[in-house]
Amino acid sequence: MYAAFTELKHAQKVKQFLAKKNVLHPDYLPLKILDHLYFPLTKRIKVPSAKVALTKLKFPLKDSSITIEKLLEKKLTKHQLKFIPRAQEIVGQIMILEIPKELLKKEKIIAEAYLKLNKNITTVVKKNKIHSGTYRLRKLKILAGKRTKETIHYENKVRIKLHLEKTYFSARSGNERLRIAQQVKKGEQVLVLFSGAAPFPLVIAKNSSAKSILGIEINPLAHQYALENVKLNKMENKIIIHQGDVRAILPKIRKKFSRIAMPLPKSGEQFLDLALKKSKRGTIIHLYDFLHENEFKLQAKKIREICKHNKKPVRILRTVKCGQFSPGVFRVCFDLKVL
């Protein structure tokens, strides 16, 4: 069986990557040998921070090697079994499912089965409405387990407390947050616009030698969670979060930043002029968007024009795909350097 192996210190990052790529073998558990962790894979792929090789290791079978299909085989018809949803996302101890219309009447049974199967999960919810509105909130329905939508998610050495309906959060962006943190150089002053429950500020603070991180978030509840999270991670000496509209808060901040993250896909570019005012030569801006592959070039051109118009020309260092929504449509980050 193919396995990806890495030093223990990279294990979390590698696991997240493999989970995102959906290549972790469903029937076996990882194996620790000395200071390395071996992850069993369903196929060979390239894995950052890990080596991949064909091994003869005897990976331990998962607790029971019970699968969701086995748990449900007597409760669903053969036809229904084909539609069993996979976990869309796991945030803290909550599993989020997307129930196809063929299984709406069986959603509770399916959720109970997932609870039984996954010992780390205490609640199973389903997506009812996708992210929308200024606060980018979604609606979820609890199907099984503890009746809560609040949880503490662990990623990149930080704990993030949040409410799944009252704050925006995407566990899938964990690798992207780390990518940004790993670019931050010693002593940098970082600005995070649209900071939500503060995942970007926290991951940057914990995984870089930034001097300070300032976040701005309009949703008062997300802001409350952000304040709590800064304390929870003992980062009060590095992170400051302001509550309010970026348009109102940012002009009052008399400071320029070496790095500015703008995680508000779709409308982030509307704030680019404001962000540019807080930049100086060499500032790196991470601007997020949702785009079809065919639109990348045109959008890059538009961004360069906005920056030129604001007398802060930029070079686009890279265009990074950091999530996929549908065939050809990606969450994209443009890494810009102010010239």
- Residue from 155, 217, 289, 335 binding ligand SAM (CB under 6 A): 217
Q: How far apart are CA 89 and CA 87, in angstroms?
A: 5
Q: At its nearest, how many Å lie between ligand SAM and the CB of residue 170?
A: 6
Contact 283, 337 (CB under 8 A): yes
β 329-338/279-292 pair status: antiparallel
The residues in 115-134 that bind ligand SAM, with binding defined as CB under 6 A, are 134
Shortest gap between Cβ of 173 and ligand SAM (angstroms)?
6
8 token code pair:
């223990």
**Shortest Å, Cβ 28 to ligand SAM:** 32
Number of residues that bind ligand SAM (CB under 6 A): 21
Residue type, 60: P
Contact 26, 1 (CB under 8 A): no
CB of 246 closer than 8 Å to CB of 218: yes
Instruction: Show the DSSP H helices in the chain as ranges.
Output: 11-21, 68-72, 78-81, 107-117, 174-183, 199-207, 220-232, 246-249, 272-277, 296-309
- Binding to ligand SAM by CB under 6 A, coded x per residue (else -) over 4-43, reads ----------------------------------------
- Judged by CB under 6 A, the residue of 28, 38, 39, 194 near ligand SAM is 194
Sign of the four-CA dihedral 53, 57, 62, 67: positive
**Which amino acid appears at position 316 of this protein?**
I
CA pair distance 15, 164, nearest whole angstrom: 23
Q: According to CB under 6 A, which one of 13, 106, 126, 136 is a site residue for ligand SAM? A: 136
Q: Does 114 bind ligand SAM (CB under 6 A)?
A: no
Residue pair 217/243 in contact (Cβ under 8 Å)? The answer is yes
Sole residue written with tokens 């810009």: 336
Please list every residue from 242 through 261 that binds ligand SAM, using CB under 6 A.
Answer: 245-247
Interacting span for ligand SAM (CB under 6 A) from 17-25, 39-47, 179-187, 210-218 = 210-218
113 vs 216 by CB, closer to ligand SAM: 216
Indicate which single residue of 23, 94, 226, 264 sits in contact with ligand SAM (rule: CB under 6 A).
264
Q: What is the contact mask toward ligand SAM in residues 151 to 190, using x (rule: CB under 6 A)?
A: -----------------xx---x-----------------
Q: Which residues bind ligand SAM (CB under 6 A)?
A: 134-136, 168-169, 173, 194-196, 199-200, 216-219, 222, 245-247, 263-264
